[in-house]
Structure 1
């Protein structure tokens, strides 16, 4: 009985030692495996992006149709029902708090950045920010991954529009372009 235990123990040590030095190595392998990837609508994705519900500024954000993937769109041109307004004023700076929300429905903390936009030959700037907790605003710097969103956490995103450099708006900004929201599992040193 003791001898059998010793032999089994020796066999286990030899197998472990063989694995450590690669005696069971192979040159090539081809193995079929299955993978399942569900492509969700934007409001159901791991990184959920939706208009802010029940807020005045949430009216500036809408989601496209289901056939377009229900992506978020921002529109500051004549979007207030029953009002005569048609957009932001010339030579002005606007801050719109809580226009849309980003929620981390994934399995790990992510770090977000949102690319700025410009329109009218670069004279109108559109940037994104979050409340900083002390009544101020923290600009989400493009390329810095400095907005941390933990699992199950939601951040309210504001929009800053600066038309101060433009002196003549002969046409409205109907399409300022497309921005990119990037989420990474790693960060730089500027975490909020």
Structure 2
């Protein structure tokens, strides 16, 4: 049995996507998940919305998926949608088999995948990079860092500086992008409540 892995996927950008909003630029985003053949969606993640990204959105969004038992039966799905006022419209989707990901597992190499529209037409591409790494068990180390480094009688401004540095380190450990802002806000709120 193979060891558990972490799949890190970076969705860089899209090119020449199908335009589902004709009077003004689209606001595309992507939902990404890993699924086993014949099974449902697992651990869905969403990119930020590329406001006015139109048919060539830029996301530069990193997502991580913990794969407990590696299998070539898995598929990585990308579903691209336009964020609408009343409802979101589907732009298209991409499916990448794990066998293909494992065959081309070269970190930092950007790969192009054609987007399939809801009608089955191939229209546009997404540019993605990925890498597999050993799954690292989480620990309470991050809580210890915060407790140790923010203890003591530091001036508020020094605590805020330290909190920002800690938030950045913690966010990099947890995710490769999205939680830095949330961690910083949470730590600043904790400091302000003193």
TM interval, short-chain normalised: under 0.3
Higher relative contact order (CA 8 A, sep 6+): 2
| Structure showing the higher strand proportion among its residues | 2
More helix by share: 2
TM-score (norm 1): 0.25
